[in-house]
Chains A and B, each alone.
Chain A
């Protein structure tokens, strides 16, 4: 087994900081995504061309998916973060299909950074939505005894978020590498097809979990909604999703 396949060597130092292949690949992904976005939105018109249709389809699909979970007023506020998360994770996952390149998401540092951002954004949007006092108060509900469990849940789900994506992508690349080493040139092709599916699924799971965590922080619970604004509460069938723990 080639250790290069698992390690992330330092490529160069930037202001004394070591910059690894993961960061370089991430920059490449960023450039690709931004350039593609600028191309697609080059000349927006009321009657869309093909590129504009694709761009609108992407944004509208993400917005619709988010609108099913989030309150309508919060969709546009959260959309840049969640949409970027979906797009970035998807492209980063698919980068592993390109020879000599590795997915940034097979690096625990990347997935941990994304999970940390989800953790931080959850509290950020929660506090912006409810206010600091009300937001912190829900940790002590329904009883103060549950506070440690809430905190543990927050940490473990963030950790699970990072490790799940890292583990899936890492294992997928390792499996493809092992099959390639053992069986030969064309045998890993079905595995690469599986890579595409796995990349899509993992990006969707990562994004939807982040969305659910943020929605759980934004949407008031049942007692609060009854006390404050009954009209702004989400449908009852979405409540189990908000308590989803990984």
Chain B
């Protein structure tokens, strides 16, 4: 264990030199690069924080917009539901009205068809009734019946309304210019009946009338008098036709 002052002093100098060397060639460059890196890291951290803040702001903005959008969507949905409900109600009402109209139309159409069929059936029934009645009356028709009808004709002529008498008089005036008066009968009439008929017509027409007799079995029973454009029916065929026509319009 020796202590040497020279070594002591040299060691002091050596150490101080070493401190200086290391300070300039080791510590300072390394600390500078560490500081630079730390500064860079700090700047990057600040930038990252700024980016994070921006991202959070964007996120908040997006969430706000999303919330607004959801609100708007909800409002639009509610409005759409209301509109749909109104439209549904209107459509339902229209459909109901249309159905009611269609139903009424169908009902009317059905009634018309039914009425038409009923009318057709009535016509058919009337026709058949006419045919049956005609067939039965043809079997029942006799000259006596025709004579009875002639008498009834003569009585009716006396009670003929004034308007019809006037029409007959006008028709008789036309007869004078060449048109003949025709008396058609289902059965042959005797001269007495013919003269009485002519007499009755002359009285009503206020002038003498010369009639032409004609036999027409289609009349079944009774007679038909044609004075110009005026027809006087007193026969079963015409009565049946009358009933047939009436049944058509019933």
Binding site for B on A (CB under 8 A): 6-8, 17-20, 22-23, 26-27, 30, 33-34, 37-38, 40-41, 44-46, 48, 52, 55-56, 59-60, 63, 76, 79-81, 83-85, 87-88, 104, 107-110, 112-114, 116-117, 166, 170
Given A114-B11, A117-B12: A17 touches B18 (CB 8 Å cut-off): no
Q: Name B residues whose Cβ lies closer than 8 Å to a Cβ of A.
A: 1-12, 14-19, 21-23, 25-27, 29-34, 36-37, 40
A80 to chain B: closest CB distance in Å? Answer: 4
* Given known contacts A41-B30, A59-B27, A59-B30, A19 and B2 CB-to-CB distance under 8 angstroms: no
Are B29 and A18 within 8 A (Cβ)? Answer: no
What are 25 residue pairs bridging A and B, where the CB atoms are less than 8 Å apart in the complex? A19-B6, A23-B7, A27-B14, A33-B22, A34-B26, A37-B22, A41-B29, A41-B30, A44-B29, A46-B36, A46-B37, A52-B33, A60-B34, A80-B27, A84-B18, A85-B15, A109-B2, A109-B4, A113-B7, A113-B8, A113-B11, A113-B15, A117-B12, A117-B15, A170-B1
Name 5 extra pairs, CB < 8 A, besides A8-B4, A40-B26, A59-B34: A17-B10, A38-B25, A109-B8, A109-B11, A110-B11
CB atoms of B11 and A26 under 8 A apart: yes
Nearest-neighbor residue (CB-CB) of A121 within chain B: B19
What are the residues of chain B within 8 A of A27 when measuring CB–CB? 14
Q: Find out whether the CB atom of B30 lies under 8 angstroms from the CB atom of A80.
A: no
Q: Assess whether B11 is in contact with A23, with CB atoms less than 8 Å apart.
A: yes
Contact yes or no, A81 B33, CB < 8 A = no
Q: Which residue of B lies closest to A44 (CB)?
A: B33
Residue numbers in A under 8 Å from B40 (CB-CB): 46
Cα distance, A37 to B28, chains bound together (Å): 11
Among residues of B, the one whose C-beta sits closest to the C-beta of A34 is: B21
- Answer whether A8 and B30 are a contact pair too, CB < 8 Å, given A34-B22, A34-B25, A46-B37: no
Partner of B25, one of A37, A60, A81, A117: A37
Question: Most chain-B Cβ atoms within 10 A of its Cβ — which of A6, A37, A63, A81?
Answer: A37
Q: How far is the CA of A116 from the CA of B26 in the complex (A)?
A: 24
CB-CB under 8 A from A84, the residues of chain B are 15, 18-19, 22-23
